[in-house]
Chains A and B, each alone.
Chain A
Amino acid sequence: MINSVIRYTVVFILLVLLQILLFNNIQFSGYVNPYVYIMFILILPVEIPSWLLLILAFFTGMTIDIFTGTPGMHSSASVLAAFIRPSVLRSNSPRDGFEPGAQPSMLSYGFRWYLIYATLVVLVHHTALFYLEVFRLADFFRTLLRVLLSSVFTVTFVLIIEYYRKGR
């Protein structure tokens, strides 16, 4: 228990650092802004109580908000992503259900499963985030394009990180 708390804390710090130091500095046109920190919500155990998941998501979002100077934006999107995560897991569960203590990882459930799972959560998060950022419906399709392009990049990076995590 204590062990896993420490492990997740380390992963949290690494992901936040990666986001702030690396991905926030990728300023490749206005269309591609990968937000890889959302992976923290993806890797938490399947059986984590929903309330804890929501609070952790809020905390994660707030941390990013502090560093990007956008109070509320990332927190709100992350909490929404955490809220739909249980439904995504349920609708996408393997045939014989999740084992007790299971972790949503590529190692346990395969590439295809992980791709669908990650894509759904990332899409919800990015949609909320980018529309909250512009806060208007003018330019609807341009924002949609930003959501889609950024999601593609985020999911790609998440898959790469997950692939190397698998090796451990």
Chain B
Amino acid sequence: MRSLLNFLERYSNLIIFLILEGIAIYFLSTRNYYHNARAVNSIRWLAYGFEERITNTRNYINLRDINANLAAENTALRNSINRLVRNNTSTFYSVSDTVYQQQYQYTTARLTSNSVNKQKNFFTINKGTRHGISNDMAIIGGGGIAGVVVGCSENFSVAMSLLNLDFRVSARIKSNGYFGSLSWDGRDYRTTILSDIPQHVTVNIGDTIETTGYSAIFPEGVTIGTITGFEKPGSDFYIIYVQLVTDFRKLQFVDVVANKRKAELIQLEEKIE
């Protein structure tokens, strides 16, 4: 007994160290981003008020940029409305819900926290389950894709940013339709890498990269960025560098996209597998 007590006394620091590291590593090891986001959600109520205030200040400072972006977006939307209206009158479709039923629904949200300097970046938006947000919804902002919702609380949602080593999205070259997998390599927050494009395809610098509709998360044809360079390594595939249109450092307002037919699609795909 005495020797046990002696032992405990001599190594008490080491034991405390190991216990504390154990707790920390336990938190870390639930790294699966979904669980992570849930854990984060449950303890982050404390930080939200704070972050919101910081973001408010930053928004205020950047009002000029935000206004310019909104104006540009308005113009683009107005143009597309004009096109749509002309389409309707020139063709013969009768307007019925089965044809024009919207597959994707958009809702606007504001970022309450964001980062670009980590290897696994997440951001938080100010809408949650109460506003109809749920997991795996796509987030589009700044003209391109921004992330995917990975956890929701009542009023907030945490999203995995495109700037996250775990993020993958199916993307294609707009001009020829070849698709590959787009991910971030953790270096520059403006550049991502498109892989799995075979080397017999002609790739041009300046080509637009957009989403495919294969994931049931992102709508088809959302711009991601433009090709700024490519390499031909030893394998059969290119390494293509894609400059993002979304500037994550300026990202403040985003659109959350709900795919209304996703449940149906997944159900069908599961039935076949």
Q: Is the CB of B50 within 8 A of A27?
A: no
| A76 → chain B closest CB, angstroms | 4
Q: Is the CB of B115 within 8 A of A27?
A: yes
User: Which of A47-55, A112-120, A152-160 participates in binding chain B?
Assistant: A47-55
Q: In whole angstroms, how far apart are the Cα atoms of A57 and B17 in the complex?
A: 10
- Given A54-B13, A66-B43, A75-B23, A132 contacting B186 (CB threshold 8 A): no
- Given A79-B20, A134-B186, A71 contacting B165 (CB threshold 8 A): no
* CB-defined contacts of B51 to chain A, threshold 8 Å: 67
Partner of A134, one of B43, B113, B119, B249: B119
* CB-defined contacts of A135 to chain B, threshold 8 Å: 31
Whether a CB of chain B sits under 8 angstroms from the CB of A139 is: yes
Q: In whole angstroms, how far apart are the Cα atoms of A71 and B30 in the complex?
A: 9
Q: In whole angstroms, how far apart are the Cα atoms of A45 and B46 in the complex?
A: 30
Q: What string of 1s and 0s marks CB contacts (under 8 Å) between A35-74 and chain B?
A: 0000000000000001100110110010001111111110
| A136 → chain B closest CB, angstroms | 8
Total cross-chain contacts (CB, 8 A): 99
- Given A54-B16, A55-B20, A133 contacting B119 (CB threshold 8 A): yes
| A116 → chain B closest CB, angstroms | 23
Q: Is the CB of B27 within 8 A of A71?
A: yes
Q: In whole angstroms, how far apart are the Cα atoms of A32 and B189 in the complex?
A: 13
Whether a CB of chain B sits under 8 angstroms from the CB of A110 is: no
Q: In whole angstroms, how far apart are the Cα atoms of A21 and B187 in the complex?
A: 24
| B72 → chain A closest CB, angstroms | 24
| B32 → chain A closest CB, angstroms | 12
Interface residues in A61-113 (C-beta closer than 8 Å to B) = 61, 65-73, 75-76, 79-80, 83
Q: Is the CB of B26 within 8 A of A72?
A: yes
Size of the chain B interface, CB-CB below 8 angstroms: 41
Find the B residue at minimum CB distance from A62.
B24
For chain A, the bracket of interface size reads 35 or more
Whether a CB of chain B sits under 8 angstroms from the CB of A167 is: no
Of listed A32, A69, A83, residue having the most chain B CB within 10 A = A69
Q: Is the CB of B20 within 8 A of A58?
A: yes
Find the A residue at minimum CB distance from B12.
A51
Q: In whole angstroms, how far apart are the Cα atoms of A113 and B35 in the complex?
A: 44
Q: In whole angstroms, how far apart are the Cα atoms of A71 and B20 in the complex?
A: 13
Q: Is the CB of B20 within 8 A of A30?
A: no
The 4 closest A-B CB pairs, nearest first, are A72-B27, A76-B24, A72-B28, A71-B27
Q: Which residues of A contact B (CB under 8 A)?
A: 20-21, 24-30, 32-33, 50-51, 54-55, 57-58, 61, 65-73, 75-76, 79-80, 83, 132-135, 139, 142
Known contacts A58-B23, A66-B47, A71-B30; 11 additional CB pairs below 8 A are A25-B54, A27-B116, A55-B16, A69-B122, A70-B118, A71-B39, A71-B43, A72-B25, A76-B28, A133-B118, A139-B186
22 contacts between A and B (CB under 8 A): A25-B54, A26-B117, A27-B249, A30-B118, A30-B119, A33-B117, A50-B16, A51-B12, A54-B17, A66-B43, A66-B46, A67-B47, A69-B44, A69-B113, A69-B158, A71-B36, A72-B26, A72-B28, A73-B28, A79-B21, A134-B119, A134-B165
